[in-house]
Chain A
Amino acid sequence: MAALRVLVGVKRVIDYAVKVRVAGGGVQTQGVKHSLNPFCEIALEEGVRLRERGAASDVIAVSVGTRVCQETLRTALAVGADRGVLLEVGEGAAVGPREAAAALAGLVGRLQPHLVLLGKQAIDDDCNQTGQLLAAMLDWPQGTFASRVELEEGAVRVEREVDGGLETLRLRLPAVLTADLRLNEPRYATLPNIMKAKKKPLEIIPASALGVPLPLPRLRVLKLEEPPARGGGQRVQGVPELLERLRSDGRV
Chain B
Amino acid sequence: QSTLVIAEHNNETLTPITLNTITAAKRLGGEVSCLVAGTSCDKVAQELSKVQGVAKVLVAQHDVYKGFLAEELTPLILETHKKFNYTHICAGASAFGKNLIPRVAGKLDVAPISDIIEIQSPDTFVRTIYAGNILCTVQCDEAIKVFTVRGTSFEAAPTSGGTASLEKLTPPPPVGLSEWIEQKLTKSDRPELTSAKVVVSGGRGLKSGENFKLLYDLADQLHAAVGASRAAVDAGFVPNDMQVGQTGKIVAPELYIAVGISGAIQHLAGMKDSKTIVAINKDPEAPIFQVADYGLVADLFQAVPEMTELLKKK
* Residues of A participating in the B interface, judged by any CB pair closer than 8 Å: 14, 16, 19-20, 22, 27, 39, 96-98, 101, 120-121, 123-129, 132-137, 139-142, 144-145, 147, 157, 160-172, 180-182, 215, 217-227, 230, 232-236, 238-240, 242-243, 245-246, 249, 251-252
Contacts and interface: CB of A to CB of B under 8 A. Distances in A.
B157 to A, nearest CB: 20
Interface string B149-182: 0000000000000000000000000001111111
B128 A219 contact: no
A133 B247 contact: no
Indicate the member of B96, B132, B306 with the most A CB atoms within 10 Å: B306
Given A128-B98, A181-B240, A172 B177 contact: yes
A183 to B, nearest CB: 10
A137 B295 CA distance: 49
B97 to A, nearest CB: 10
A126 B109 contact: no
Given A219-B141, A242-B294, A126 B129 contact: yes
Contacts of A39: 247
Contacts of A167: 67, 180-184
Considering the complex of A and B, which 8 residue pairs feature the smallest CB-CB distances, nearest first? A136-B106, A132-B102, A233-B293, A167-B183, A141-B177, A165-B185, A129-B102, A223-B137
A49 B133 CA distance: 34
B14 interface: no
Contacts of B185: 164-166
Contacts of B132: 227
A151 to B, nearest CB: 15
Contacts of B102: 97, 128-129, 132-133, 136
A218 B135 contact: no
Contacts of A223: 135-137
A249 to B, nearest CB: 6
B71 interface: yes
Nearest to A232: B290
Given A124-B130, A142-B103, 11 more contacts: A16-B266, A20-B130, A126-B114, A164-B241, A224-B134, A226-B134, A233-B292, A235-B289, A236-B294, A239-B296, A246-B278
B239 A165 contact: yes
Nearest to A227: B135
A97 B183 CA distance: 29
Contact of B241 (A97, A142, A161): A161
B259 to A, nearest CB: 12
A236 B303 CA distance: 12
A222 B180 contact: no
Interface of B: 67, 69-71, 74, 94-96, 98-107, 109-115, 124, 127-142, 176-186, 194, 198, 222, 230, 233-234, 239-241, 243, 246-247, 249, 254-255, 265-266, 272, 275-278, 289-298, 303, 306-307, 310-311
B233 A181 contact: yes
A246 B294 contact: yes
Contacts of B182: 167-168
Contact of A225 (B71, B98, B134): B134
Contacts of A233: 277, 292-295
A39 B240 CA distance: 14
Contacts of B111: 96-98, 215, 217-219
B67 A144 contact: no
Contact of B142 (A14, A124, A169, A218): A218
6 contacts: A16-B266, A123-B266, A129-B102, A162-B241, A166-B185, A167-B67
Contacts of A252: 198, 222, 255, 311
A218 B110 contact: yes
B290 A240 contact: no
A231 B139 CA distance: 30
A251 B180 contact: no
A209 to B, nearest CB: 21
Contact of B247 (A140, A181, A224): A181
Given A182-B240, A233-B295, A242-B294, A218 B177 contact: no
A153 B234 CA distance: 31
Nearest to B98: A128
Nearest to B70: A142
A83 B222 CA distance: 54
B293 A169 contact: no
Contacts of A129: 102, 105, 112, 114
A56 to B, nearest CB: 21
B130 A161 contact: no
Contacts of B99: 132, 142, 144-145
A7 to B, nearest CB: 17
Contacts of A180: 240
Contacts of A224: 134-137
A147 B184 CA distance: 13
A120 B295 contact: no
Given A96-B111, A242-B278, A235 B296 contact: yes
B279 to A, nearest CB: 9
Contacts of B110: 98, 218
